[in-house]
Amino acid sequence: MRGVIMHAPGDVRVEDRETPTLVETTDAILRVAAACVCKSDLWPYRGIEAVDGPAPMGHEYVGVVEQVGEDVENIEVGDFVLGSFFASDNTCEICRAGYQTHCVHRQPGAATGAQSQYVRVPLADGTLVATPGMPDDDLIPSLLAASDVLGTGWFAAVAAEAGPGKTVAVVGDGAVGLLGVLAAKQLGAERIITMSRHADRQALAREFGATDIVTERGDEGVARVKELTGGLGAHSVIEAVGTQESMMQAIRSTRPGGHVGYVGVAHDVALPGEELFFSGVHLHGGPAPVRRFLPELIELIWDRTIDPGRVFDLTLPLEQAAEGYRAMDERRAIKVLLAP
Amino acid sequence: MRGVIMHAPGDVRVEDRETPTLVETTDAILRVAAACVCKSDLWPYRGIEAVDGPAPMGHEYVGVVEQVGEDVENIEVGDFVLGSFFASDNTCEICRAGYQTHCVHRQPGAATGAQSQYVRVPLADGTLVATPGMPDDDLIPSLLAASDVLGTGWFAAVAAEAGPGKTVAVVGDGAVGLLGVLAAKQLGAERIITMSRHADRQALAREFGATDIVTERGDEGVARVKELTGGLGAHSVIEAVGTQESMMQAIRSTRPGGHVGYVGVAHDVALPGEELFFSGVHLHGGPAPVRRFLPELIELIWDRTIDPGRVFDLTLPLEQAAEGYRAMDERRAIKVLLAP
């Protein structure tokens, strides 16, 4: 089969790879209907994370079940399914509490190599959720978004306790931040402030429910959020970047007693204890337990209540994956869908 | 009147000070019935925080109202009252949300100088709460505890979401940590693990409701908590120390999705972003909004449901304050009550 391999920073190629087969009796093999490039794929692409030899890429996928191991019960051959980037059993105490990314049997690198024609998914019963039937083509981008960026933005909004009567601020205008806006809107937030300086992303944020745009960053961005909230700060702040500046901007934009939901993967971040202490905010985040939200998100997509697939502003055949990476690296695209 | 003055690290004296008088129309003057030495008073006493010239000491108090300003409506001359170490209006949006320590009109150093015969309390209507009548003498230590250490331990337990079915771990066996145990018990926690290596404090923790004692610290302490919780960590962890080690011990003792309530004032703490991110815990804390809990705590004390005054293991006349500081500094006492 064909699949994406990263050889070195900036060097992404589509090559022949061995088609995956069942390894454990709890595995499933999917024929990938759509995959995509994640912002986290850009860390090694940009040389910020090391690339240890040729690495199969991709961890977001939707597809049709081709084979299942003999212990798989909830998923059948022919089902259209999606799952998150962590495999989880969905039955342990941690999963039952809604933290499947911390499942006691979790497999973080589970569906690695999903930018390809086929992918093996471990713990299929716990990890995968089937759609009510075969989706119309136009639903596929939204279902694919649910498998990572929507699930992550949704978790951030839940962690930030977005809800009725709340003012929500969003730091980060990538796919996750934009879908955090969509999630906050769905959760009933009264006012949603997006921090963005890109016209196209501002426009999509408004479509998703943003009521205010703040173009300033850092301390000036914080001051602007305070101005918009009677000097108090937002009730709920979504952090979707993962840098020192973005974390501090999020914490400082939150009112005392308010909630920060942070899902940007922390790179070289150290939170000053004394400032955090006197801020009085709640802090919650981490790798999003997307699996918790999948049934609800699939329903909202199936009913066409939400259209998170709008974040894919470039669709390419799998064979042109290298161009997809370039477009995201150069910020010509918010998020790139790859069709095998 | 007589009052405690700190002249330099280690140099605490009881001297004649001017009796406070009404300054604002929203002030009250109290005749102090009991005050005490706070662990935070030891920071300057030990030279860790600077002492800028002679400083009146103390911020925990209970007493009888002697005078009120003309705009005070809720409190009357003759009332027995208590209040927290922050003056707050209790009417602003932040107060109404339960974060009186972040009140938009807050006065952090409000009742400074409470280790004395009289004290001025600003924003009396918002800050002070009257007891149902004149308390019996044996209730005074408990009411005094409510004004800071109990209120702080209670907030930590609430922030850590201690409750029915939960396993709570407590890092720190000072008065706040011990009263965090009492709070967790009252809130219905199923199991309470105290981390302590002092026999007297372990005994008091057990009286307050601790079910398990862990004497190990740091990574070994974390391993022991994990062992006691099926490898997962506690649901709720109370942090009542405020050092880098104690914060990391608290975070690492918490299961993914669990809650850390931290009330130790952070000194030279920096939280590593990546570890925090992948821990998946909730973090909440800061200067405790004691005022939020006062009506409930007064009721529990008045009904003799709880006896938090047990943390005072040394009572001295105000004139012997210097000995009180020494006893706490040398860990001969958990907490010292000063009777004017």
CATH number of the structural domain spanning residue B64: 3.90.180.10
Residue to substitute from B100, B269, B292, interface A, most A β-carbons within 10 A: B269
C-alpha–C-alpha distance, residues B256 and A88, integer Å: 14
The SS3 of residue B55 is strand
Residue A97's identity, in one-letter code, is A
Say if residue A201 is in the same domain as residue A78.
Answer: no
Angle between helices B149-159 and B290-302 (to 10 degrees): 110
> What length does chain B have?
340
Say if residue B190 is in the same domain as residue B111.
Answer: no
Q: Which residues of A touch B265 (CB under 8 A)?
A: 274, 277
Say if residue A313 is in the same domain as residue A220.
Answer: no
Residue A340 contacts residue A35 (beta carbons within 8 Å)? yes
C-alpha–C-alpha distance, residues A43 and A46, integer Å: 5
Residue to substitute from A101, A248, A254, A269, interface B, most B β-carbons within 10 A: A269
Say if residue A274 is in the same domain as residue A211.
Answer: yes
Nearest to A265 among B267, B268, B277 (CB): B277
* Within-domain flag for A222: yes
The DSSP line for A31-47 is: EEEEEEE-GGGHHHHTT
Range of the domain at A45: 2-134+307-339
* Within-domain flag for B61: yes
pLDDT of B84 reads: 85
Q: Which residue of A has its CA nearest to B254?
A: A94
C-alpha A265 chain-centroid distance = 11
C-alpha B150 chain-centroid distance = 5
Say if residue A80 is in the same domain as residue A22.
Answer: yes
* Chains A–B, number of C-beta pairs less than 8 Å apart: 118
C-alpha–C-alpha distance, residues B150 and B145, integer Å: 5
User: B211-217, long-range: CB within 8 Å, 24+ apart, which pairs?
Assistant: B214/B169, B217/B245, B217/B249
pLDDT (tens digit, 0 to 9) for every residue of chain A, 340 residues total? 999 999 999 999 999 999 999 999 999 999 999 999 998 899 899 998 888 889 999 999 999 999 999 999 999 999 999 998 889 999 999 999 999 999 999 887 677 899 999 999 999 999 999 999 999 999 999 999 999 999 999 999 999 999 999 999 999 999 999 999 999 999 999 999 999 999 999 999 999 999 999 999 999 999 999 999 999 999 999 999 999 999 999 999 999 999 999 999 888 899 999 999 999 999 999 999 999 999 999 999 999 999 999 999 999 999 999 999 999 999 999 999 999 8
Q: Which residues of B touch A244 (CB under 8 A)?
A: 273
* Interface ipTM: 0.95
pLDDT of A39 reads: 87
pLDDT of A112 reads: 82
Nearest to B99 among A230, A257, A285 (CB): A257
Q: Could you tell me if B94 lies within 8 Å of chain A, comparing CB atoms?
A: yes
Which of A236, A261, A277, A90 minimizes the C-alpha distance to B282? A261
Residue B210's identity, in one-letter code, is A
Q: Could you tell me if B282 lies within 8 Å of chain A, comparing CB atoms?
A: yes
Say if residue B167 is in the same domain as residue B130.
Answer: no
pLDDT of B9 reads: 94
Spans of chain B below 50 pLDDT: none
> What length does chain A have?
340
Beta-carbon separation of B283 and A284 below 8 A:
yes
Which residue, chain included where needed, has tokens 């862990």? B214
Residue to substitute from B283, B290, B291, B292, interface A, most A β-carbons within 10 A: B283
C-alpha–C-alpha distance, residues B53 and B247, integer Å: 32
Say if residue B156 is in the same domain as residue B129.
Answer: no
C-alpha–C-alpha distance, residues A112 and A38, integer Å: 12
Q: Which residue of B has its CA nearest to A229?
A: B93
C-alpha–C-alpha distance, residues A266 and A163, integer Å: 26
Q: Which residue of A has its CA nearest to B267?
A: A274
Q: Could you tell me if B317 lies within 8 Å of chain A, comparing CB atoms?
A: no
CA distances from A215 to A109, A199, A200, A261, B263 (A): 36, 10, 13, 21, 35
Beta-carbon separation of A274 and B255 below 8 A:
no
C-alpha–C-alpha distance, residues B121 and B147, integer Å: 13
Say if residue A278 is in the same domain as residue A192.
Answer: yes
Say if residue B126 is in the same domain as residue B6.
Answer: yes
What sign has the CA pseudo-torsion B329, B332, B334, B340?
negative
Say if residue A114 is in the same domain as residue A159.
Answer: no
Beta-carbon separation of A256 and B102 below 8 A:
yes
* Within-domain flag for B186: yes
The SS3 of residue B113 is coil
Backbone φ, ψ for residue A165 (5° rounding): 80, -5
* Within-domain flag for A61: yes
The SS3 of residue A209 is coil
Can you read off the two tokens belonging to residue B71? 């705009």
Q: Which residues of A touch B282 (CB under 8 A)?
A: 282-284
DSSP state of A27: -
CA distances from B18 to B2, B7, B56, B118, B120 (A): 8, 17, 11, 10, 12
Report the CATH number that the domain containing residue B224 is assigned in CATH. Answer: 3.40.50.720
* Within-domain flag for B299: no
* Within-domain flag for B219: yes
> Which residue blocks in chain B are alpha helix, DSSP H?
42-45, 93-96, 124-127, 140-146, 149-159, 175-186, 199-208, 218-228, 244-252, 273-279, 290-302, 321-329
pLDDT of A85 reads: 83
Q: Which of residues 235-254 of B touch A (CB under 8 A)?
A: 242, 244, 247
Say if residue A171 is in the same domain as residue A203.
Answer: yes
What sign has the CA pseudo-torsion B279, B280, B285, B290?
negative
Say if residue B129 is in the same domain as residue B164.
Answer: no
C-alpha–C-alpha distance, residues A230 and A63, integer Å: 48
Question: How many degrees, rounded to 5, is the angle at CA B147 between CA B78 and CA A278?
Answer: 135
* Within-domain flag for A143: no
Distance from CA of A134 to the nearest CA of B (A): 34
Can you read off the two tokens belonging to residue A112? 């690695």
pLDDT of B265 reads: 84
CA distances from A173 to A157, A205, A225 (A): 14, 8, 16
CA distances from B92 to A226, B88, B106, B288 (A): 16, 9, 10, 17
Residue A157 contacts residue A259 (beta carbons within 8 Å)? no
The DSSP line for A219-240 is: HHHHHHHHHHTTTS-EEEEEE-
C-alpha–C-alpha distance, residues B201 and B199, integer Å: 6
Distance from CA of A304 to the nearest CA of B (A): 31
Which of A168, A328, A323 minimizes the C-alpha distance to A238? A168
Burial B239-277 (b: 16+ CB within 10 A, else e): bbbbbbebbbbbbbbbbbbbbbbbbbbbeebebbbeebb
Q: Please count the structural domains in chain B.
A: 2
Residue B59 contacts residue B112 (beta carbons within 8 Å)? yes
Q: Which residues of B touch A268 (CB under 8 A)?
A: 273
Residue A313 CB coordination number (10 Å): 16
C-alpha–C-alpha distance, residues B55 and B33, integer Å: 21
* Within-domain flag for B82: yes
The SS3 of residue A241 is coil
DSSP state of B267: S
The order of strands in the sheet holding B11-16 is B11-16, B2-8, B55-56
C-alpha–C-alpha distance, residues A253 and B296, integer Å: 32
